[in-house]
Structure 1
Amino acid sequence: MRPTGPTGLTGRYAPPEPARELSARAGDGVRLPVEVHGRDGDPAVVLAHGWTCSTLFWAPVIRELTAGGHRVIVYDQRGHGRSPAAALPQAYSTAMLADDLCAVLDAALEPGERAVIGGHSMGGMTLMAAAGRPELREHGAALLLCSTGARHLTGEARVLPFRSERVRATAHRLLLGSRAPLGPVTPLTRRALAYGTLGSAPPPGAVEATARIVHACPAGVRAAWGGVLAGLDLSAKVPRLDAPTAVVSGTHDRLTPLPQARRLAALLPHCTGLHELAGRGHMTPLEEPETLAEVLAALAANHLTATAAPVSEESA
């Protein structure tokens, strides 16, 4: 049985029990933990979480999708959750993100099996980094880029609202690379994280889940991946994502603001739609999981051979 991770996650945010677990062997030999939720044979959805998160991040979306007749595959990005950290900070790279995703696809899906593949924040950047890889072409029937961007993250972020773009970029670069421990979850840290990552009126459960999941990420891993994000430029990769792709963004996202999503939609060769979630911040799968599940279910219904059952009203 998998560990439950951070305590205090309840209701729809509590980690659902997977139907089965497996491991994917990455190119460097590291074993990545993978969870499969739902029934074998149901339309498959593979989800990659973002920076400082873990499989726990997807709990409410998993519940929505499995209730609607989908099989959901999630894994911990390198150094997050139960995934081992890299031996050296300089080993972290966008190539590692792509390598690990491809290893998961090969381990969790049958040869030739198609799936909807989605990524949130750094998970979306994972899909961009894997653009053109044979594993993504083989398995990716449709894609979702959620609350993410391809380049110039530090200058456009609005967590630290300096007027000067140059000052803002420097300040955000320092924030991303900070190794300062976050300490225990307190009312102050909840408010700080909610300001930086959530929308104008987030559900209380999303506030609590964000704080507990982010605080569980090791400071060294957070800083190492933050350094990768600070220098990110995957814009040349986006046009190589030739599968049908939906884009989701919160209108109040301070980390990857709405213009990032609009540029992605313009660069994609087959964008199925840009979904702007009014009042939502960066953590859209925690803030509005019903909408995320609906977008993923629509991609599955339209682009997978098997017909996905709609998300049930009872699960909304």
Structure 2
Amino acid sequence: MRATPHVTTGPYAPPAPRHTTTVTSADGSRLHVEEHGREDGPTVVLAHGWTCSTAFWAPVIRRLADDHRVIAYDQRGHGRSPAPGPGGCSTTALADDLCAVLAAAGSRAVVVGHSMGGMTIMAAAGRPQVRERVAAALLCNTGGSRLLHESTVAPLRAGGLRYRVQKAVLGSDLPLGPVTPLGRKLLRYATMGPAATREQIEACARIVHACPRRVRASWARDVLAVLDLEANLADLDVPTAVIAGEKDRLTPPVHARRLVEALPNCVGLTELPGLGHMSPIEAPQTVADAVAALARDHLTQGAPSSAPSAEKELS
């Protein structure tokens, strides 16, 4: 019997959505979308990272749902969104998918991206849908370029050997198999800080191990290994906050500091002492507070007059 793709009890178990739907992206890819919280609350759109799913946002959604309308979607190939066809893993696809979800949301929103979700926001910067529908952004544990050069997952000195080892490991399509004690230790080392709890590690391990191995490898090889979104940052001119984990091995804080320097309208950098790459699970209250502050300070309710058919899709 296949293990569940997420924990089912406790604070890291996904809450039941108020509404679910399917949104179609520009190339026909179908995206699973969930809506939580207050129907009349300020809208927040959550984009998860590589190998994750909507379940990854569970503790953040729980903290936002009383006062916000929270929309989370599965990136293509992750969670309940089908894998794309050949050539379907690209930064263009990430941007297309976010724009499709924003159009379906039907109102201006704060967008939040973790890891590859942050890269999704950067990839979509400058798109008309982002300019019209995004009031502010939060980038968590992410970077715009040189991911494999600056990652410290492999315990080697910076240079060509470390780059090649990390490219081979992250781009491997070998199955992860069931979650085992060794698997938990490896995941904690690679993605989480030393203070991560057993419950947090289990929640992350279930989600990551559930990602199909070919999807995992395709995104790593076709996007993460060659990522270069530095030029897009000038177009991300909405108020944008950045969160980094001090002990993040996948996207070390050097990435966050580079983002802060390049963003036209950065409203703050938060570096979390002792925490790793999985801030929405390791520090959900900090992430939720940052989202709520952006919504309070920058979000004006009311949908744009364009794309009325998209508004109906999530209603």
> TM-score band, normalised by the shorter chain?
over 0.9
In the aligned structure 2, how far is the partner of 1:7 from the partner of 1:234? Answer: 31
In the aligned structure 2, how far is the partner of 1:283 from the partner of 1:10? Answer: 19
Letter of the aligned partner of 2:44 in structure 1? V
Q: Give the corresponding residue for 2:81.
A: 83
**Aligned counterparts, 1:79-118, within 5 A:** 79-88=77-86, 90-108=87-105, 110=106, 113-118=107-112
**Per-residue Cα deviation, 1:51-81 (whole angstroms, up to 9, x for no partner):** 00000000000000113x0111000001000
In the aligned structure 1, how far is the partner of 2:155 from the partner of 2:229? Answer: 24
**Aligned counterparts, 1:34-113, within 5 A:** 34-67=33-66, 69-88=67-86, 90-108=87-105, 110=106, 113=107
Gaps of 5+ in 2: 302-315
Gaps of 5+ in 1: 307-316
Q: Give the corresponding residue for 2:250.
A: 255
1:205 partnered with 2:199: yes
Letter of the aligned partner of 1:222 in structure 2? R
In the aligned structure 1, how far is the partner of 2:158 from the partner of 2:139? Answer: 28
In the aligned structure 2, how far is the partner of 1:87 from the partner of 1:274? Answer: 37
SS at structure 1 position matched to 2:11: helix
Give the drift of 1:157.
0.3
Contact 2:4 2:206 in 1 (8 A): no
Contact 1:121 1:149 in 2 (8 A): yes
Q: Give the corresponding residue for 1:32.
A: 31
Q: Give the corresponding residue for 1:119.
A: 113
In the aligned structure 2, how far is the partner of 1:34 from the partner of 1:164? Answer: 39
RMSD: 1.2
Contact 1:9 1:208 in 2 (8 A): no
In the aligned structure 1, how far is the partner of 2:30 from the partner of 2:252? Answer: 34
Q: Give the corresponding residue for 1:231.
A: 226
Give the drift of 1:33.
1.1
**Per-residue Cα deviation, 1:188-246 (whole angstroms, up to 9, x for no partner):** 00000000000011022210011000000000000000011011010111111000000
**Aligned counterparts, 1:144-223, within 5 A:** 144-223=138-217
**Per-residue Cα deviation, 1:106-133 (whole angstroms, up to 9, x for no partner):** 112x2xx211001000000000000100
Q: Please give the TM-score of this superposition, normalised by the length of structure 2.
A: 0.93
**Per-residue Cα deviation, 1:226-269 (whole angstroms, up to 9, x for no partner):** 01101101011111100000000000000000010000011000
SS at structure 2 position matched to 1:279: coil
Give the drift of 1:5.
4.9
Q: Give the corresponding residue for 1:271.
A: 266
